[in-house]
């Protein structure tokens, strides 16, 4: 049995004061969660979020990590810095990083190596564009992204990684993949992991769905056998909505 994992991706939202208010409201609402709960907050909120969640069942994640240890990399944040601030998880290869900031399969791979080397738990995002789905290329794209991200990664390290399947056309659009589409593609991604690492890693790996997941559609998605949780953008910014999602994931 894979324990579901629900992770909020706050993106570039929530000042420190807003972070305090959201986490304070959220904690009692998710205290009895049956899944792992993560909030991936902006860099400037990590230390505060870690302080507020200390001793709770919620852990904190970042939204990216540099692929170098330290040095002349203006604008980047190192794994050491994230860990010292209190991050446990890190999102890698989010489609917004790929779309707006030139992230590639190769750079995602370098960041994944760095996260694993530093014991940060990675959430690797993959997913196709609308034109790719319409062109029948969903599997080809997901395979390329998974193989690219995991290039040279050992089975032991792969087993520590979460994948988030996020069809780009469903992110922030209100257009969710159907339960069947999400389940089918996640099953396909698991088969790609199986081809790389064998049954044990593939069967144990948690693969989330992400893309306009919300309090209304979470039950249908979570009922599907391949879907092990969610990466939640918009709906993670409201304690009530996020807690419904968390408490539905069992
Ligand atoms: C995301 O940012 O990973 C995401 C899935 O966003 P949303 O839930 O808003 O579609």
What is the distance of C-alpha 110 from the center of its chain?
A: 17
Q: Which atom of ligand 1 is nearest to the CA of 11?
A: 2
- Does 166 contact ligand 1 (Cβ within 6 A)? yes
- In this predicted structure, what is the pLDDT of residue 90? 98
9 Cα to the center of ligand 1, angstroms? 7
- In this predicted structure, what is the pLDDT of residue 174? 87
Mapped to the 3 state alphabet, what secondary structure does the chain carry? CCCCEEEEECCCCCCHHHHHHHHHHHHHHCCCCCCEEEEECCHHHHHHHHHHHCCCCEEEEECCCCCCCCCCCCCCCCHHHHHHHCCCEEEECCHHHHHHHCCCHHHHHHHHHHHHHCCCEEEEEECCCHHHHHCCCHHHHHHHHHHHHCCCCCHHHHCCCEEEECCHHHCCCCCCCCHHHHHHHHHHHHHHHHHHHCHHHHHHCCEEEECCCCCCCHHHHHCCCCCCEEEECHHHHCHHHHHHHHHHCC
Q: Which atom of ligand 1 is nearest to the CA of 234?
A: 9
Sign, Cα dihedral of 173, 174, 180, 185? positive
- In this predicted structure, what is the pLDDT of residue 150? 98
- Does 45 contact ligand 1 (Cβ within 6 A)? no
- Does 231 contact ligand 1 (Cβ within 6 A)? yes
- In this predicted structure, what is the pLDDT of residue 63? 98
Whether the CB-CB separation of 148 and 108 falls below 8 Å is answered with yes
Please report where in the chains the tokens 């990466």 appear, as a residue. 231
Residues of the chain with pLDDT under 50: none
User: 203-238: string of b/e by CB count within 10 Å (b at 16+)?
Assistant: eebbbbbbbbbbbebbebbbebebbbbbbbbbbbbe
The residue whose C-alpha atom lies closest to atom 1 belonging to ligand 1 is 233
6 Cα to the center of ligand 1, angstroms? 12
- In this predicted structure, what is the pLDDT of residue 179? 97
The residue whose C-alpha atom lies closest to atom 7 belonging to ligand 1 is 233
Report the greatest alpha carbon distance in the chain. Answer: 48
Catalytic residue among 94, 96, 103, 128: 94
- Does 28 contact ligand 1 (Cβ within 6 A)? no
The residue whose C-alpha atom lies closest to atom 8 belonging to ligand 1 is 233
- In this predicted structure, what is the pLDDT of residue 114? 98
Catalytic residue among 96, 103, 132, 166: 166
The residue whose C-alpha atom lies closest to atom 4 belonging to ligand 1 is 233
pLDDT digits (tens, 9 = 90+) for 59-84: 999 999 999 999 999 999 999 999 99
Look up the pTM and report it.
0.98
- Does 6 contact ligand 1 (Cβ within 6 A)? no
- Annotated catalytic residue 147: no
Question: What Cα–Cα distance (Å) separates residue 200 from each residue in 121, 170, 193?
Answer: 19, 30, 10
- In this predicted structure, what is the pLDDT of residue 1? 84
- Annotated catalytic residue 166: yes
- In this predicted structure, what is the pLDDT of residue 175? 86
- Mutate which of 171, 182, 236 for ligand 1 pocket (most atoms within 8 A of beta carbon): 171
Please report where in the chains the tokens 């904190």 appear, as a residue. 60
Q: Which residues pair with 39 in a beta bridge?
A: 8, 60
d(CA 76, CA 103): 13
């Amino acid at each position: 049995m894979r324990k579901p994992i629900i992770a909020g991706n706050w993106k570039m939202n929530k000042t420190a004061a807003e972070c305090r208010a959201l986490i304070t409201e959220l904690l009692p609402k998710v205290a009895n969660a049956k899944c792992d709960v993560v909030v991936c907050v902006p860099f400037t909120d990590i230390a505060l979020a870690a302080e507020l969640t200390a001793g709770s069942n919620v852990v904190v994640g970042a939204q990216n990590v540099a692929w170098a240890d330290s040095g002349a990399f203006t604008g980047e944040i190192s794994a050491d810095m994230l860990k010292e601030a209190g991050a446990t998880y890190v999102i890698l290869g989010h489609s917004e990083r790929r779309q707006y900031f030139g992230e590639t399969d190769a750079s995602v791979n370098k960041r994944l190596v760095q996260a694993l080397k530093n014991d940060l738990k990675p959430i690797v995002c993959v997913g196709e564009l609308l034109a790719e789905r319409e062109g029948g290329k969903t599997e080809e794209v997901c395979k390329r992204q998974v193989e690219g991200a995991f290039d040279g990664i050992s089975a032991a390290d792969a087993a520590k990684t979460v994948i988030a399947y996020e069809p780009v056309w469903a992110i922030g659009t209100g257009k969710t993949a159907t339960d069947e589409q999400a389940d089918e593609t996640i099953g396909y991604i698991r088969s790609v992991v199986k081809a790389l690492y064998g049954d044990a890693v593939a069967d144990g790996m948690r693969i989330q769905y992400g893309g306009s997941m919300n309090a209304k559609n979470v039950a249908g998605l979570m009922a599907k056998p391949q879907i092990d949780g969610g990466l939640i953008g918009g709906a993670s910014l409201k304690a009530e909505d996020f807690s419904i999602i968390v408490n539905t994931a069992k």
